[in-house]
Protein backbone atom coordinates (compact mmCIF):
# COMPACT_ATOMS: atom_id res chain seq x y z
CA UNK A 1 0.00 0.00 0.00
CA UNK A 2 2.82 2.42 0.79
CA UNK A 3 4.59 1.77 -2.48
CA UNK A 4 1.57 2.93 -4.44
CA UNK A 5 1.63 6.19 -2.48
CA UNK A 6 5.29 7.08 -3.05
CA UNK A 7 5.33 5.88 -6.65
CA UNK A 8 2.51 8.24 -7.62
CA UNK A 9 4.02 10.65 -10.13
CA UNK A 10 7.40 8.95 -9.90
CA UNK A 11 8.12 9.64 -13.57
CA UNK A 12 8.86 13.22 -12.58
CA UNK A 13 11.16 12.23 -9.73
CA UNK A 14 14.11 11.58 -12.00
CA UNK A 15 14.94 15.27 -11.76
CA UNK A 16 14.50 15.61 -8.00
CA UNK A 17 17.25 16.24 -5.50
CA UNK A 18 18.94 13.17 -4.03
CA UNK A 19 17.97 14.35 -0.55
CA UNK A 20 14.28 13.83 -1.38
CA UNK A 21 14.82 10.27 -2.53
CA UNK A 22 16.97 9.57 0.53
CA UNK A 23 14.08 10.57 2.77
CA UNK A 24 11.80 8.02 1.10
CA UNK A 25 14.59 5.44 1.25
CA UNK A 26 14.92 5.96 5.02
CA UNK A 27 11.17 5.59 5.51
CA UNK A 28 11.18 2.40 3.44
CA UNK A 29 14.01 0.98 5.55
CA UNK A 30 12.22 1.85 8.79
CA UNK A 31 9.01 0.21 7.60
CA UNK A 32 10.88 -2.94 6.52
CA UNK A 33 12.53 -3.05 9.94
CA UNK A 34 9.12 -2.81 11.65
CA UNK A 35 7.55 -5.45 9.38
CA UNK A 36 10.30 -7.99 10.02
CA UNK A 37 10.76 -6.94 13.66
CA UNK A 38 14.48 -6.81 12.97
CA UNK A 39 16.95 -5.61 15.58
CA UNK A 40 19.21 -2.64 14.93
CA UNK A 41 22.28 -4.70 14.09
CA UNK A 42 20.60 -6.21 10.99
CA UNK A 43 21.64 -4.11 7.99
CA UNK A 44 19.18 -2.43 5.68
CA UNK A 45 20.72 -4.28 2.75
CA UNK A 46 19.96 -7.62 4.43
CA UNK A 47 16.35 -6.55 5.03
CA UNK A 48 16.00 -5.44 1.43
CA UNK A 49 17.44 -8.69 0.06
CA UNK A 50 15.18 -10.84 2.23
CA UNK A 51 12.05 -8.86 1.40
CA UNK A 52 12.80 -8.33 -2.30
CA UNK A 53 12.11 -4.60 -2.01
CA UNK A 54 14.07 -2.53 -4.54
CA UNK A 55 16.01 0.61 -3.72
CA UNK A 56 14.00 3.78 -4.24
CA UNK A 57 16.45 5.16 -6.82
CA UNK A 58 16.32 1.91 -8.81
CA UNK A 59 12.53 2.00 -8.81
CA UNK A 60 12.54 5.63 -9.98
CA UNK A 61 14.89 4.74 -12.84
CA UNK A 62 12.85 1.70 -13.86
CA UNK A 63 9.48 3.45 -13.86
CA UNK A 64 10.84 6.58 -15.57
CA UNK A 65 12.33 4.45 -18.35
CA UNK A 66 9.06 2.61 -18.90
CA UNK A 67 7.19 5.94 -18.99
CA UNK A 68 9.55 7.32 -21.66
CA UNK A 69 9.18 4.09 -23.63
CA UNK A 70 5.38 4.45 -23.57
CA UNK A 71 5.68 8.06 -24.72
CA UNK A 72 7.81 7.01 -27.67
CA UNK A 73 5.12 4.62 -28.94
CA UNK A 74 2.19 6.98 -28.31
CA UNK A 75 -0.12 7.78 -31.22
CA UNK A 76 -0.70 11.44 -30.30
CA UNK A 77 1.88 13.66 -32.02
CA UNK A 78 1.70 16.29 -29.26
CA UNK A 79 3.03 13.75 -26.78
CA UNK A 80 6.27 13.50 -28.74
CA UNK A 81 6.92 17.17 -27.99
CA UNK A 82 7.19 16.27 -24.31
CA UNK A 83 10.36 14.32 -24.99
CA UNK A 84 12.28 17.18 -26.55
CA UNK A 85 13.51 19.88 -24.18
CA UNK A 86 12.47 23.43 -25.02
CA UNK A 87 15.01 25.70 -26.61
CA UNK A 88 16.38 28.21 -24.12
CA UNK A 89 15.24 31.72 -24.81
CA UNK A 90 17.43 34.74 -24.51
CA UNK A 91 16.90 36.52 -21.28
CA UNK A 92 15.43 39.99 -21.58
CA UNK A 93 17.08 42.83 -19.73
CA UNK A 94 14.26 45.11 -18.76
CA UNK A 95 14.67 48.05 -16.51
CA UNK A 96 11.13 49.37 -16.57
CA UNK A 97 7.77 47.75 -17.01
CA UNK A 98 7.16 49.90 -20.08
CA UNK A 99 10.08 48.16 -21.82
CA UNK A 100 7.84 45.14 -22.33
CA UNK A 101 5.31 47.15 -24.31
CA UNK A 102 5.53 46.94 -28.13
> What confidence tens digit (pLDDT) does each residue in 38-92 have?
998 999 999 999 989 889 888 888 888 888 788 888 888 787 777 777 676 666 6
Spatial distance between the Cα atoms of 45 and 101, rounded to a whole number of angstroms: 60
The pTM of the full predicted model, rounded to 2 decimals, is 0.65
Other beta carbons within 10 Å of 14: 15
Q: Cα 1 to chain center, whole Å?
A: 18
Domain range annotation of the chain: 28-72
What is the signed CA dihedral for 46, 48, 52, 55, rounded to 10 degrees?
-140
pLDDT band of 33, cuts 50, 70, 90: very high
Spatial distance between the Cα atoms of 48 and 54, rounded to a whole number of angstroms: 7
Spatial distance between the Cα atoms of 59 and 74, rounded to a whole number of angstroms: 23
Amino acid sequence: MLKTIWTYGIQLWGCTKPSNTKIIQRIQSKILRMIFDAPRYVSNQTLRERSGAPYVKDEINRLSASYLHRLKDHSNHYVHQLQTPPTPQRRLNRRWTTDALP
